[in-house]
Amino acid sequence: MFTAERCNSLMKTINKVLLIVLVAIPFGFQGTCLADESLGAILEGIRKTYGPLPGLSVPYTREVVTRSMTMLGGQIKGDLASGAIYFKHPHFLRLDQERPRPETIIANGETLWWVIPGKNCAYRYPADQFGKELRLLSDIFRGLAHVADSFEVVLNQENVSGKYEIELIPNPPWEEIERIRVIGGQDYQIHSIDIFNALGTITRFTLGTLSEKGDFKEGFFRFVPPEGMDVIVEGADQ
């Protein structure tokens, strides 16, 4: 049975993937017209560093920091998770979360699977149920050319060491996300991402090295439930 709670949980996971991808994949900013020359140069440098990739993988560590944790000055560590994201043109996505518990999301343009091995279950959704999010993700990986149509892009800080801090403010506003802060270095690689919500909670992603992937093994973006696994069919596929 499809529940709002389950849908919201999956939507939050997908949105986190989108946010990682949006600020981590540099060719997503290609062609943006920006008044700030320094910001434009940074985005151009990032784009030239990576160029258009046929496929990619990027490891991440995620920490959730609440407002109360921030007030305590980092004395308490937030909720931690880690894993890797994989993408292949035009619309193949795989998210492998390793900690705190293994979970996998696989989307191929038609079907989206959410697999939870520890519970021996998998949820199957029609991809169009998350069409807006998945279309955006696909557009980003293909080289989103109009980031200024969706975000106000602001260069907050740039220092002599080459490190910079960029803010992305959703325009029009997003329901759950207030702003996104991106921190990178003189190598034009994104090192960390802070996602702020209206309640003051920060979801912080620390990114590893983005790797180009030309080929993936057969079936990498396909899921076949093993015998005995519970499969819950949601949405229009029911």
Tokens of 133: 């999010």
Q: Give pLDDT, residue 46.
A: 65
pTM for this structure? Answer: 0.69
* Residues forming beta bridges with residue 196, ordered by sequence position: 179, 202
- Helix, strand and coil content of the chain, in percent to the nearest 5, comes to 30, 35, 35
Second-level CATH architecture of 4-212? Clam (2.50)
Tokens of 24: 């981590």
- For residues 84 and 194, give the distance between their C-alpha atoms in angstroms, rounded to a whole number: 17
Q: Give pLDDT, residue 87.
A: 84
* Residues forming beta bridges with residue 81, ordered by sequence position: 62
User: Cα separations (Å) of 172 from 11, 13, 22, 141, 151?
Assistant: 19, 21, 16, 21, 8
Tell me the domain boundaries of the chain: 4-212
- For residues 188 and 43, give the distance between their C-alpha atoms in angstroms, rounded to a whole number: 8
Q: Give pLDDT, residue 143.
A: 36
- For residues 141 and 88, give the distance between their C-alpha atoms in angstroms, rounded to a whole number: 8
Residue 100, preceding peptide bond in cis (omega within 30° of 0): yes
Q: Give pLDDT, residue 185.
A: 79
List per-block mean pLDDT (blocks of 10 residues) for the chain, which spans 238 residues. 56 59 45 54 68 79 77 60 86 89 89 93 83 52 53 75 80 82 79 85 85 89 96 74
